[in-house]
Amino acid sequence: MTHHSAPPPAIGCRNTPILKQRGQHEVFCGLTGIIWLHRKMQDAFFLVVGSRTCAHLLQSAAGVMIFAEPRFGTVILEETDLAGLADAQEELAREVDRLLARRTDIRQLFLVGSCPSEVIKLDLARAAEKLSARHAPSVRVMYYSGSGIETTFTEGEDACLAAMVPELPETDKRQLLMVGALPDVVEDQALSLLEKLGVEDVAVLPARYADSGVSVGPNTVFALTQPFLGGTHAALERRGARHIPAPFPFGEEGTTAWLQAVAREFGVDTARFDAVTAAPRARSIQAMSKAKQVLSGKKVFFFPDSQLEIPLARFLVRECGMEAVEVGAPFIHKALVGPDLDLLPEGPVIAEGQDVDKQLDRCRAVQPDLTVCGLGLANPLEAEGLSTKWAIELVFTPVHFYEQAGDLAGLFSRPLRRKSLLQLDAAE
Ligand code: SF4
């Protein structure tokens, strides 16, 4: 298969010793995933069993919709529940009954655990099982945890998808499962490319509707579109499906390599692959060119947050000419990000987990041109004169596949451009 991208580096980062950090960390919790998951799954409802803090987080992150009934909500645990004075399980069952009676459009209900529900050891898995039996077959009730205790914000999606996998019907058919919640328009672009390549029988997890007929079995191969789906990867393997390892579809190189891995699996010939991808590849390279001028030669430092860090470092170094000085990720699953680590030339510190003060010291010492971090660190670092990019924006913005490559590069070049404009203004 033709590959016009730069050759892989002589030594990549797959075997670079990982700096493991186990200290204080600054990340959002897994509830955040509800913001994009409820938009994706159009007949699902996410019921958080949590505190007022959880409700505030969701409302401020998602915005309050006054024109439509939202598809997420919070059952607030009161002090009596926390003290074990009330039967929280019974109250929850009553709330679910009320909700489902009122909202007949709901086909999948997720009970989402939080820090308080975990602390009081509320058995939401059992609650989901009982409620599912009560409301079957019209509604399936599932459970996952979005608690902020020891989890990061993208793990919410992973936990949600992993909870869906055991519920999927069994199939023997040879099929590709594309796994990860993408904005509809991006998902459609990916499906169109796969169709043009001749890959038939493609299913998507999560599907837009519960009755989309997604199934899994020993002849299913799956390709992940998000690098944070370690739990889902394991759950699919338990169902007999086989993972197609590939770099993640960010930028021209990442998208081409991802598609090539799928094409290889399905025996697509080189001529067809080149014919289908030539035009979008050229478009994506053209779309990235302006941002590349700004980014080339600049140093980037990643704090661990979204779990997209390693594939994005690969993108910024190889496709935008940046130098990565440190790439921190909350967790490093080599089965998932190994192919991106192979392409990332050796040099940067690869760190897993966080000890935020020590990492801030390292960041200040190298004075990167761009720091990718969570919201909590961005403002203080900006105040110290460092340019930052909020990691959460990379999850909320469409950034996958060829047509978004220019926007993805632009997300990183904008803070640098803004800084140089401010410096110009100050000099005048
Ligand atoms: S789940 Fe935990 S971290 Fe997340 S909003 Fe609720 S209390 Fe806060």
Domain assignment of residue 277, yes or no: no
Q: Are residues 367 and 298 in the same domain?
A: yes
Between CA 92 and CA 197 the distance in angstroms is 48
Confidence (pTM) = 0.93
Residues having CB closer than 6 A to ligand 1 are 29, 31, 50-51, 53-54, 57, 114-115, 146-148
Q: Does 422 share its domain with 301? A: yes
CATH code of the domain in which 414 resides: 3.40.50.1980
Which amino acid is located at 399 in the chain?
Answer: V
Q: Which domain holds residue 312?
A: 18-25+288-427
Residue 26, pLDDT score? 65
Q: How far apart are CA 142 and CA 127, in angstroms?
A: 9
* Atom 5 (ligand 1) nearest CA: 54
**Can you give the pLDDT at residue 158?**
97
Tokens 């596949």 sit on residue: 401
Q: What is the pLDDT at residue 427?
A: 66
Ligand 1 centroid – CA 232 distance (Å): 22
Q: Which two tokens stand for residue 389?
A: 């990019």
User: Do 293 and 410 reside in the same domain of the chain?
Assistant: yes
**The pLDDT of residue 140:** 95
Which pLDDT belongs to residue 183? 95
Pocket test for ligand 1, best of 27, 59, 77, 114 (most atoms within 8 A of CB): 114
Burial of 254 from C-beta contacts in 10 A (0-12 / 13-18 / 19+): buried
Residues 209 and 95 in one domain: no
What is the number of domains present in the chain?
3
CA of 152 to the centre of ligand 1 (A): 11
Domain boundary among the residues 250, 265, 280 is at: 265
The per-residue pLDDT for 375 is: 83
Do 141 and 38 reside in the same domain of the chain? yes
User: Looking at residue 328, what is its pLDDT?
Assistant: 95
In a domain, 170, yes or no: no
154, 134 Cβ separation under 8 angstroms: no
- Domain co-membership, 195 together with 141: no
Per-residue confidence (pLDDT) for residue 428, from 0 to 100: 66
d(CA 107, CA 45): 8
Whether residue 88 lies inside any domain: the answer is yes
Q: Which residues of the chain have pLDDT under 50?
A: 1
